[in-house]
Amino acid sequence: MVCKNCGMANDVKERFCGRCRAELPSAAEGNAKKVKPSRDITPISSRNIFLENIINGRFKVINVLGRGGMGEIYLAEEVKSGKKVAIKSIRGSQILDRNVRARFQREAEATSRLSHPNICAIYEIAAENDHEYIVMQHIDGVTLDQLEKMKPLALKAIIDIALQIVDGMISAHAKNIIHLDLKPGNIMIDKSGKVKILDFGLAEFRPRKTANRKNRRPESDLSEIGVVMGTVAYMSPEQAEGQDLDGRSDIFSFGVMLYELLAGENPFVDRANIVTLYNIIHKEIKLAPGIPPAMQKIVGKALRKNRGCRYSDFKEIKTDLAAVRASLA
Cβ atoms 17, 10 nearer than 8 A = yes
Catalytic residue among 167, 181, 250, 313: 181
- Specify whether 181 is catalytic: yes
CA-CA distances (angstroms) from residue 302 to 121, 262, 293, 306?
A: 27, 14, 14, 10
Indicate the length of the chain as a whole number: 329
DSSP code for 131: E
Q: Which residues of 56-80 are buried (b: 16+ CB within 10 A; e: fewer)?
A: eebbbbeeeeeeeebbbbbbbbeee
Cβ atoms 242, 227 nearer than 8 A = yes
Query: What's the rounded Cα separation, in Å, for the pair 68 and 57?
Result: 26
Question: Which residues form the catalytic set?
Answer: 181
